[in-house]
Structure 1
Amino acid sequence: MFEALVTLCLLSDPGLCRDALVVGGEAETRAGCEAKLAQVVVPQGRWSTGQPFCAPRGAALAFEEVAPGVFVHSGAVAEPDEANRGDVSNIAFVVGREAVAVVDSGSARWIGEATWRAVREVTDLPVRHVVLTHMHPDHVFGATAFEGAQVMGHAALARALADRAENYSESLEGLVGAEAFLGTAAPDVTVEVAEQVEIDLGHISLELEPWPRAHTGTDLTVKVGDVVIAGDLVFDKHTPALDGSVLGWLAALDRLEGQGARVVPGHGRPVLEMTEAIAPMRRYLEVLRDDTRAAIAAGERLGEAVEHVAAGEGAHWALFEAYNKRNATVAFTELEWD
């Protein structure tokens, strides 16, 4: 199998380049691939591009089939860095009889490209939908690799990304390195989801549901049969990251628990029993809420409170030092006037 590639080089550093996948140029033979080169769409941005060319298919991300037609990749439970190149969040794709939907897309375009290859190892059906579960960059920045697909997200997602894309890009590029980030740009949301909608892939349907403010103000879940792809409404192993409302998140968990037997979390293992996944999430958020309320009632200032709020949870979660104080800050700000 061959695929179309194009060499991208930073305009500010022409010696820093990488070969990027150009979707739509796949073929069984090199000649078949070369016949498609005139039709492929080359990614544009703050980089220069060479002429598209054909090469043997590159490396795909590893995915596990967790239910019929539902495939999940588990990112590292880690902060994005040069070693993992930003591959730190879970990604899913769902294959129907007529089309494919990808759910989340990773921190950089190269992850979207490697996901495209993984899809092509399973099916030649078109990828018609890329569903983004929330605004955080480790879930959305690979989406531009899926040329021609609808990019779907919460009704508030487009504005949230517009407000944050520049800062997100600068931060991620600094963490993963310029080469890994080459070709990456914030996606345009083409379908805003303001209420429950259904996507028919042929034989398999996806139920998309936007949520009130919880993990963020842009959370959206995807239900496929008895499996809920929850994005970061559910964390496994990785310390939950609060960027919305602790009270709203607890309310969301109560509703989520009754929606499916199994759940694909945004970080951690590829799939868990719903009750197994929800219990530690609820415990952490309840401790965060209760410790914060106690600190406020005791007249503590924010700087004092964040040093101990939910500290007893540290043994249960990875990356606790990186996230818990930030969570305590968000919870304190919310509950101070509760």
Structure 2
Amino acid sequence: MRLLLVGLGLLMNAASWALPALPVTEAAPGVFVHRSEHHWPDRENHGEIANIGFIVGDDCVAVIDSGGSPQQGIALRQAVKKVTAKPICYVINTHVHPDHIYGNRAFKNKGVRFVGHYKLARAMATRAPHYLSKADELLDIRVSPDNIIPPDLQVKQTMSLNLGNRELVLTAHPAAHTDNDLSVYDKNTDTLWLADLLFLEHIPVIDGSIRGWLKELRRLAQNHYKLVIPGHGPLVKDWPLGSQPHIAYLEQLAGEIRAMLKQGKTLEYAVDHAGLSAKKNWQLFEQFHRKNVTIAFAELEWED
């Protein structure tokens, strides 16, 4: 029996290494991105719905988000090997959501450091039981606690990582999309990897603070970047103009909810009426908008 289990393990490992490399595009010199389609995470796409990728330095590679399934993590690892023989030294998880962390185990190896927001480990620990219990049912994937790897390096404000003549500046943001958002700035190419701090085409999803998210986006919109990489949607080459659809949606939602609160309207009323005119601008509106209203209403109800 033991020999049979060992044999099955070897076969599974060999099969994982045989997976094809994830398709990536070199969006800027040494910056490789896999763009995903806009889908509700389900058993057909296995939760592989986010933009993920990696950055190559002279000495080593930093992976930015590992994917929405263990298999996608393996495919991303294969993509790195296809592009360069340099070792992977960092895996940067930009926040806690499954489409960004479920591939972590594929990169767990000697010399690889996992990096995240200082609140990421707590968020992982809090959400892991729910995530693990639903992965098979909702996404048709097998996820164990080994797939949810907390950061070895925790970013409290900013942190610089040197990949060899390539410095990445990581910033831990206040509560916005979540309470554990991390962005990555590549100085060599003036590329800002915003991950889910920026949504385009796919409706923004609030899991943190609408006020905090607006504040962060407005602050970032005061700067100019050659390239901005969102967590969902096309790459942005006209920043800060490219931030405006996302900002406009949050501003409209916050403005309408504040007006309803002043009128004494209920949460139920807001869910049925707030922000509906934005529907034509966003994919997956029906799936996420009402939840956005609920979260924003609860926050704005208590603002001074």
Which residue of 2 is the match for residue 291 of structure 1? 256
SS state at 2:240 partner: helix
Matched, 1:300 2:265: yes
| Paired-residue identity, % | 39
Q: Distance in 1 between matches of 2:278 and 2:157?
A: 35
Runs of 5+ in structure 1 lacking a partner?
A: 1-8, 10-41, 43-47
Q: Higher strand share goes to which structure? A: 1
Q: Which moved more, 1:219-228 or 1:268-277?
A: 268-277
> What code does the residue aligned with 1:72 have?
V
Residue by residue, what CA displacement relative to the aligned partner does 1:21-62 show, whole Å, maximum 9, x if unpaired?
xxxxxxxxxxxxxxxxxxxxx9xxxxx962366577431111
Task: Kindly report the root-mean-square deviation, in angstroms, between the aligned alpha carbons of the 2 structures.
Answer: 2.0
1:185-264 to 2 correspondence within 5 Å?
A: 185-225=147-187, 226-257=190-221, 258=223, 260-264=225-229
Q: Higher helix share goes to which structure? A: 2
SS state at 1:307 partner: helix
Which residue of 1 is the match for residue 133 of structure 2? 170
Which residue of 1 is the match for residue 38 of structure 2? 77
How many pairs does the alignment contain?
A: 292
Cα deviation for residue 75 of structure 1 reads: 1.4
Contact 2:38–2:232, Cα closer than 8 Å, also in 1 = yes
Cα deviation for residue 286 of structure 1 reads: 0.2
SS state at 1:334 partner: helix
> What code does the residue aligned with 2:123 have?
A
TM-score, length-scaled by structure 1: 0.82
Contact 1:207–1:223, Cα closer than 8 Å, also in 2 = yes
SS state at 1:172 partner: helix
Change (3 A) 1:271 1:63: farther
TM-score, length-scaled by structure 2: 0.91
Q: Distance in 1 between matches of 2:23 and 2:63?
A: 14
Which residue of 1 is the match for residue 279 of structure 2? 314
Q: Distance in 1 between matches of 2:144 and 2:123?
A: 23
SS state at 1:231 partner: strand
> What code does the residue aligned with 2:194 have?
A
SS state at 1:279 partner: helix
Which residue of 2 is the match for residue 51 of structure 1? 10
SS state at 1:274 partner: coil
Cα deviation for residue 186 of structure 1 reads: 1.2
Which residue of 2 is the match for residue 154 of structure 1? 117
Residue by residue, what CA displacement relative to the aligned partner does 1:254-280 show, whole Å, maximum 9, x if unpaired?
122215232100011244432242010
Which residue of 2 is the match for residue 90 of structure 1? 51
Q: Which moved more, 1:269-278 or 1:155-164?
A: 269-278
Cα deviation for residue 323 of structure 1 reads: 0.6
Change (3 A) 1:183 1:209: closer
Q: Distance in 2 between matches of 1:134 and 1:199?
A: 18
Task: Select the residue among 139, 155, 160 that pairs with 2:100.
Answer: 139
Contact 1:108–1:184, Cα closer than 8 Å, also in 2 = no
Q: Distance in 2 between matches of 1:119 and 1:274?
A: 28
Contact 2:51–2:230, Cα closer than 8 Å, also in 1 = yes
Change (3 A) 1:49 1:307: farther
Q: Distance in 2 between matches of 1:69 and 1:271?
A: 17
Q: Distance in 2 between matches of 1:102 and 1:278?
A: 24
Which residue of 1 is the match for residue 62 of structure 2? 101
Cα deviation for residue 182 of structure 1 reads: 7.6
Cα deviation for residue 231 of structure 1 reads: 1.0
Change (3 A) 1:49 1:154: farther
SS state at 2:170 partner: strand
Cα deviation for residue 308 of structure 1 reads: 1.2
Residue by residue, what CA displacement relative to the aligned partner does 1:292-331 show, whole Å, maximum 9, x if unpaired?
1011111111111111111111000000011111111111
Cα deviation for residue 208 of structure 1 reads: 0.2
